[in-house]
């Protein structure tokens, strides 16, 4: 059938298909088919492809059937498909599809009742059962409906005339006059005082919704410039919340994430204050790393990537590269976390650290520059 074939692709070569030929249609159809029965050309039914010359009006255009005694509508769609045996077979297939769909629908109900959830495995089993049932329900409906359209409904191709979209000149003229009449009657054009004060009146009202959005949040002011780090605040390991001593790092190695003590659950603070510390062998750390800010080869950098603020969480021990997994900005850990690849523009800021009287790692101060992504007010 041609429903899905009627577009830009050339139709397959070959003998004309039976349903293109009115002469082979069942008798019942021919009677009211003007193309076949030489009936006076009335409203027009076209089976197959109409001759291009006759782009004929079919719908709601012009004179709908005339004033006279003609029936309101002439039959345009055949009542039956050409091959009734084939249709009979299609009917059974369609019905079978719908029965499958119904059974699957019942299966969905059963699965809902039978499969309980409350654990990962149970939820996955329930998902499998419900999803399969639902999928088959809709799939069978879709298949059935498609076969119905393509095999049971008689193939038809109608042509509808397309009106130009622009209105007729007279209509436009009438519209313009009506519009102008209204404008005149409203006195809007004639009385500038009314017009201007009306416009003036709406302006503050329009601004009000914008104004109302002001309290969506506080102004940033200087808050992006600082973190919660301050002199003497202990570095604690993220996760275990354990304060750290330099001796805990017996050998150079991996990177651990630390947070300021007391802020381990404060997301707003951590979003800027998360820090990574890495232990280096003596002599490995080089400028521009500030050695006065390190303790026994332990250096602390902001974990917040200077690109768009993802945690720079990957560390390659052999090359000492810190990599941000979001956009792959790469920082050279022994050299002040300078950028060696990627879109970040600035090194990860270094946190000045030292040890306190008890030998724990503490901050000497806040970072001496803003951490995280660049922003307009940052100098």
Partner 1 sequence: MSTERALEGVGGWLDDRFRGAKGFRTLFRKIFPDHWSFLLGEIALYSFIILLLTGTFLTLFFQPSMTEITYHGSYLHLDGVRMSQAYASTLSISFDVRGGLLMRQIHHWAADLFVAAILVHMLRIFFTGAFRKPREVNWLIGITLFTLALVEGLFGYSLPDDLLSGAGLRITAGVLQSVPVVGTYLEFFLFGGPYPGNDIIPRMYILHVLVIPGLLLALITAHLFLMFHQKHTQMPGKGRTDQNVVGAPLYPYFLAKTGAFFFFTFAAVALASTFAQINPIWLYGPYNPVGISSGSQPDFYMGFLEGSLRIMPAWQTVIFGHTIAWNVFIPALLPLGLIMTGAALWPFLEQWITGDRREHHVLDRPRNAPTRTAIGMTTIAFYGVLWLEGANDVLADHFDIPLYTTTIVARYAVFLVPIAAYIITKRICLGLQRKDLNLLEHGVETGIIRQLPSGEFIEETRPVTEEARAVLMSRHEPLSLPAATASDASDASEDEEAVPAPDMRGGIGKVRERLNKVLNESVPMTGGHGDGYGAPHGNGAPHGNGHDAALGNGHGDNAPAAVPATGDHDTQPGS
Site for partner 1 in 195-224 (CB under 8 A): 213, 216-220, 223-224
Q: How many CA atoms lie within 13 A of 38 on its CB side?
A: 0
Task: Map the footprint of partner 1 across residues 85-144, applying CB under 8 A.
Answer: 112, 115-120, 123-124, 126-128, 130-132, 134-139, 141-144
Q: How far is the CB of 113 from partner 1 (least distance, A)?
A: 9
Which span (22-30, 229-237, 269-277, 285-293) binds partner 1, by CB under 8 A?
A: 269-277
Q: CA separation (Å) from 32 to 21, 38, 77, 79, 82?
A: 15, 10, 10, 11, 15
Number of residues that bind partner 1 (CB under 8 A): 109
Residue 304 Ramachandran class (φ > 0 left, ψ -120 to 50 alpha, else beta): beta
Q: Residue 74 interacts with partner 1 (CB under 8 A)?
A: no
Task: Map the footprint of partner 1 across residues 146-205, applying CB under 8 A.
Answer: 146, 148-149, 153, 156-162, 164-165
Q: How many CA atoms lie within 13 A of 122 on its CB side?
A: 8
Q: How far is the CB of 2 from partner 1 (least distance, A)?
A: 8
Binder to partner 1 among 185, 209, 247, 267 (CB under 8 A)? 267
What sign for the dihedral angle of Cα 286, 292, 294, 296? positive
Binder to partner 1 among 78, 295, 298, 307 (CB under 8 A)? 307
Binder to partner 1 among 237, 311, 354, 356 (CB under 8 A)? 311
Q: Residue 316 interacts with partner 1 (CB under 8 A)?
A: no
Q: Residue 66 interacts with partner 1 (CB under 8 A)?
A: no
Task: Map the footprint of partner 1 across residues 12-51, applying CB under 8 A.
Answer: 13, 49-51
**Pick from 275, 371, 288: which is nearest to 334 by CA?**
288
What sign for the dihedral angle of Cα 334, 338, 339, 340? negative
Binder to partner 1 among 186, 345, 359, 368 (CB under 8 A)? 345
What tokens were used for 79? Answer: 């009542």
**Pick from 67, 76, 58, 8: which is nearest to 163 by CA?**
58
Q: List residues bridging with 300 in a β-sheet.
A: 277
Q: Measured from the CB atom, is 146 or 354 closer to partner 1? A: 146
Whether omega for the bond prior to residue 144 falls within 30 degrees of 0, making it cis, is no
Task: Map the footprint of partner 1 across residues 221-250, applying CB under 8 A.
Answer: 223-224, 238
Q: Measured from the CB atom, is 16 or 359 closer to partner 1? A: 16
Q: Residue 257 interacts with partner 1 (CB under 8 A)?
A: yes
Dihedrals phi, psi of 341, to nearest 5 degrees: -160, 155
């Amino acid at each position: 059938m041609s429903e899905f074939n009627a577009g830009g692709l050339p139709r397959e070569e070959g003998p004309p298909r039976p349903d293109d030929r009115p002469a082979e249609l069942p008798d019942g159809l021919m009677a009211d088919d003007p193309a076949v029965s030489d009936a006076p050309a009335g409203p027009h039914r076209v089976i197959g492809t109409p001759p291009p010359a006759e782009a004929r009006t079919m719908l709601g255009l012009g004179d709908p059937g005339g004033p006279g005694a003609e029936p309101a509508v002439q039959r345009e769609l055949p009542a039956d498909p050409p091959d009734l045996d084939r249709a009979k077979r299609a009917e059974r297939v369609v019905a079978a599809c719908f029965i499958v769909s119904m059974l699957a629908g019942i299966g969905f109900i059963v699965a809902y009742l039978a499969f309980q959830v409350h654990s990962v495995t149970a939820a996955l089993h329930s998902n499998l059962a419900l999803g399969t049932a639902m999928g088959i329900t809709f799939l069978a409906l879709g298949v059935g409906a498609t076969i119905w359209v393509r095999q049971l409904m008689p193939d038809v191709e109608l042509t509808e005339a397309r009106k130009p979209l622009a209105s007729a000149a007279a209509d436009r003229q009438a519209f313009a006059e009506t519009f102008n009449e209204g404008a005149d009657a409203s006195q809007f054009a004639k009385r500038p005082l009314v017009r201007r004060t009306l416009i003036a009146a709406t302006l503050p009202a329009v601004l009000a919704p914008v104004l109302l959005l002001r309290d969506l949040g506080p102004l940033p002011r200087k808050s992006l410039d600082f973190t919660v780090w301050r002199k003497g605040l202990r570095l604690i390991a993220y996760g275990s919340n354990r304060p750290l001593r330099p001796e805990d790092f017996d050998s150079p190695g991996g990177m651990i994430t630390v947070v300021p003590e007391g802020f381990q659950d404060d997301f707003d603070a951590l979003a800027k204050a998360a820090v990574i510390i890495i232990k280096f062998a003596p002599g490995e750390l080089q400028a521009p790393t500030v050695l006065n800010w390190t303790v026994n080869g332990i250096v602390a950098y902001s974990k917040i990537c200077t690109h768009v603020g993802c945690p720079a969480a990957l560390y390659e021990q052999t090359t000492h590269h810190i990599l941000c997994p979001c956009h792959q900005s790469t920082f050279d850990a022994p050299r002040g976390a300078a950028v060696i690849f990627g879109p970040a523009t600035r090194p990860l800021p270094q946190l000045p650290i030292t040890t306190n009287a008890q030998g724990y790692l503490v901050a000497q101060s806040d970072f001496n520059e803003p951490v995280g992504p660049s922003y307009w007010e940052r100098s």
